[in-house]
Each structure stands twice: as structure tokens, then as C-alpha cells.
Amino acid sequence: MRNHQKYAGGISLNHNHVLLVSIALGFGTMQLFAADEPTKEVNRTGEQSKSPLDTQPQPWQRRAQPIISALTTKQSWCKVVVYSPRVALVGGVYRMWYCGTSTGSRAGDCSLGYAESADGIDWKESPDNPIVRADKIGWGSGFWNPCVRFDEEEKVYKMWFSSNRFRELNAEGRLVKIDMALGYATSPDGRHWKIHPEPIHETGFGPCVIKTGPDHYRMWMNSPGDNRNDPAAMYQNIHSFNSRDGIHWKRDNVPAIQPTGELSSSVYPWVIRDGGRYVLWHAGHVPGGRFEIFAATSPDGLQWTPKHEQAAFPATGGRNDFDGRYTSTPCVLALKDRYLLYYSSRDWQTTYRDGQGRIRKDGGGVYSHVGVAVIPRASKE
């Protein structure tokens, strides 16, 4: 049985639109590295309680409405795609970075947007959006899956992101070849970015970075190995990486996560430290044309126990739900009173209106919404 709870009203979807796009869109971010401090759930007797993250599916309370949507935004730059939210709590303000475009559902020209919130639930899009346009990267064609962190030691925002240097679509618009590299940028305020002039790693998609010390960074990212231009190889292998400066990376040879059972892909990793262990979320294709979020745990971030028998955060399946078909690009914050999950979604519609007002069709759908879900945390009395 699908375990999901919705609240805070509903959404009415215009059937001239759709929320779907190819897997190749995304970013990542959360608080630079304070959010990865280990915590423990403790009950009133002082004993360690079982974490809600250990249940399958996890008991996320999802909203019936997206928090940002291409169908309702008044901003012209992201009228088709709104995708890959990454959130950090910095200076008492929730800050989100996300990708978007009005060109088309499978356009490779996503720019970077920014939004702020006082509570992590209700968001205000920046009037300066997009804060970085796709053509400002220089060596790549657009932003995919950025991971933004605020470095408390250096007092600077750091962003790792993927960008296309080459890609080839077939007649049906499906990706058949790809050359995706890892980029890097820094910012004093999270809005004005200086982009590194070259890729910092030759292949990679969907980075999640944690700084574990002054001279040590860890990253989990999809990487294709020797089959660098094969999308299937990219989307099936999540590797762990290490770096002393966040720029020069060494990849572990053996993948940390691969699809098992009925799962045919494993992509968009997001990792936190929680309860003295690591928890990883990723998304993947499941039978029935769906795409859902799964979880894995590890004592050290190297040896993982995936839980692929059941999704941690499934799509609802509802034909009128904004997240009925896809839940994707997970970003989780572990706060004192709650866990927050931010995600991209697709519904079951297959038509949309592009930035020029044309009605277009995408049988796979369009990433048009960003959602949020909550798990309250146990009292630590």
C-alpha cells in the first residue's frame, strides 16, 4: 500500500500543461555542512528510538500543492520546467536554488533560480531570477542538479553542478548520448556567482557534497565509468568521491549504489549524516512509467544497504496529483524539530505550453513542480 499523506489544500492542473521532462535536469544544495551533524532520536526513558527514516515507506507528510510551479509562476524564464530544488538554512533564512527553462520539456538550457522562505514551506521567488543564465557557464550548455553549501569556516557559498558539453536525442526525443561534466562556482551571498572556467571532473551527474573537515570533502555522484557517453551507464552508477579542496576529486572504483530488483536506474543522490550513520536518498525508474525516491543507509558512507524493495517516498499514482507520476531529485534537511524533503515532480499530463505559447507534447512528461514533505521529529525530553 502507498503510504502518503497530503495536507494544505489541493491543486488544479490545467490540461494544456504538463509536468514532465527528461531525467537530465537537476541540482543540489543544503546548509554547508552544519546540517550533516549526527543526531539521535531519544524517547522519554532516555533510550535511543527507532528513526522514522528506517521505515519503508518513510512517513512523510506531503502537501497537496507544490511550493513552486511552472504552471503558476509569474516569472517568464521558467514557464515549462521547474526542477531540482536544493535548500539550505543559513542565517535563519531558508534559501533555495533550483533550475528552470521556458524553451521546452527536454531543452538543455536550464538557468539557475533562487527563492527564500521564513519557515521552509512558503516561498518567495527572487525578482532577480534567473540569478545565473545558462549561457554564463561558458564550457557547458546549462545547469543540472546543483549542490549548494555555505561553508561556515570560509564564509562563502560553494556550488557543484552538472552541465552538458554534448548530448544527442533520438527521433522520439530520448537521450542516446551524453557528455556531462562537473562544474564549480563560489558566491559571497548565494545570488552572485563566480563560475570556475573549466569542469573540475570530466564526467558526472547530480553531485551531493559534504565537507567533513578543513581539508576533506566527500561527494556522491552518478558517474558512468568507461562508458562516458552512455546515459544508461551514467544513470545506473552512483559513486563516492573524496577531495582535499572540493575541486580535485578522486573516485572510488566500485559504485556505492546500483539499481536492484525492479528498479532500472539509480540517480540524483542526496546524503545526510543522521544518528551516527549516513542516509542516502536517490530516485529511479520503476515499472508502470513511474519514477520514485528510494533510500539507503551506511555506517561510513562507503558500504551501503539499499532499500529497493519499496520506495521511501513514492509517487502518489493519482491522476490529478502534481506528484502522481514522478517524485525525484530529493534534498533532505535534518532539523531539530523535523525533517524536510524537497523534491521535483511530474504528473500524468503529456502536453504543455512552451514559452512561445505553442502547445507541445512529451509522452514522458515535464518536471514542472517542486514539492515539500515533512516528518516531525521525536521529542528529546
Q: Report whether 354 contacts 46 (CB < 8 A).
A: no
Cell (9 digits) for 127: 525578482
pLDDT band for position 351 (50/70/90)?
very high
SS3 54: helix
Chain center to CA of 269: 8
Among candidate residues 370, 373, 374, the one with its CA nearest the CA of residue 326: 370
Please indicate whether residue 152 or residue 6 has the higher confidence score (pLDDT): 152
- The pTM of the full predicted model, rounded to 2 decimals, is 0.88
Backbone torsions φ then ψ of 43, nearest 5 degrees:
-90, -175
Instruction: Report yes or no on 306 lying in a domain.
Output: yes
Cell (9 digits) for 370: 517542486
Instruction: Name the least confident of 14-18, 184-188, 197-201, 281-285.
Output: 14-18
> What pLDDT is attached to residue 1?
41
Instruction: Report yes or no on 362 lying in a domain.
Output: yes
- Hey, what amino acid is at 259? P
pLDDT of residue 18 exceeding 80, the answer is no
Among candidate residues 111, 23, 11, the one with its CA nearest the CA of residue 68: 11
Per residue in 191-224, pLDDT tens? 999 999 999 998 999 999 999 988 999 999 999 8
Please indicate whether residue 318 or residue 25 has the higher confidence score (pLDDT): 318
**Rounded CA separation 40/50 (Å):** 9
For residue 301, the enclosing domain spans 5-376
Instruction: Report yes or no on 177 lying in a domain.
Output: yes
pLDDT of residue 176 exceeding 90, the answer is no
Instruction: Report yes or no on 128 lying in a domain.
Output: yes
Instruction: Report yes or no on 356 lying in a domain.
Output: yes
Among candidate residues 119, 121, 120, 102, the one with its CA nearest the CA of residue 111: 102
Per residue in 70-117, pLDDT tens? 999 999 999 999 999 999 999 999 999 999 999 999 888 999 999 999
> What pLDDT is attached to residue 19?
30
Instruction: Report yes or no on 381 lying in a domain.
Output: no
Per residue in 27-79, pLDDT tens? 333 333 444 444 444 444 444 557 999 999 999 999 999 999 999 999 999 99
Mean residue pLDDT across the chain: 87
pLDDT band for position 231 (50/70/90)?
confident
DSSP label of 134: G
pLDDT band for position 345 (50/70/90)?
very high
> What pLDDT is attached to residue 332?
98
Burial of 191 (0-12, 13-18, 19+ CB in 10 A): middle
Per residue in 151-169, pLDDT tens? 999 999 999 999 987 666 6
Instruction: Report yes or no on 118 lying in a domain.
Output: yes
**Rounded CA separation 44/41 (Å):** 10
How many domains, the chain? 1
**Rounded CA separation 131/316 (Å):** 33
Among candidate residues 145, 139, 86, 75, the one with its CA nearest the CA of residue 110: 145
What residues have CB less than 8 Å from 251, skipping those under 6 apart? Answer: 201, 223, 239, 240, 241
CATH number, domain at 327?
2.115.10.20
